[in-house]
Amino acid sequence: MKKLKNNKKGASLLLALLIISAVLSIAFGISELSLGEIKISRDAPKSLIAYYAADAGIECQMFADRLSKPNCSSACIDVNSKICYKITISGVSPKRTIKSSGIYQDIIRAIELTY
């Protein structure tokens, strides 16, 4: 009868492949998170401009209310019409709600005020 030899050469290769695949999976996960954070940080200046446009819309409507002028519906506040706001008004005083959406390129930020 022949004796079977105990061959362990394939086990080390399998272990190496498992370790490499685990390290690659972790690396891909970290790179995916990093790319998401980079996109968010890249859009931060645009988001700030859109927020300030929404704030300008709220201020315009509050000023119009104070002077009993017509409502500010929407306007663009730069020369190229890239920075705009849109006003939506609902209710009457004392539960009047003003919603202003600031728009800059593909970013929209909104502010809601109730008074």
For residue 6, tell me if it sits in a domain.
Answer: no
pLDDT at 4: 61
104: Cβ contacts below 8 Å, ≥ 6 apart:
46, 49, 50, 53, 82, 83, 84
For residue 4, tell me if it sits in a domain.
Answer: no
Contact 28/20 with Cβ under 8 angstroms? no
Structural domain boundaries, residue 105: 11-114
Give 73-104 pLDDT, tens digit per residue.
888 888 788 899 999 999 887 788 999 999 99
For residue 66, tell me if it sits in a domain.
Answer: yes
The whole model's pTM is what? Answer: 0.68
Give 25-61 pLDDT, tens digit per residue.
999 999 999 999 998 898 899 999 999 999 999 999 9
For residue 20, tell me if it sits in a domain.
Answer: yes
For residue 22, tell me if it sits in a domain.
Answer: yes
pLDDT at 2: 64
**What is the count of structural domains for the chain?**
1
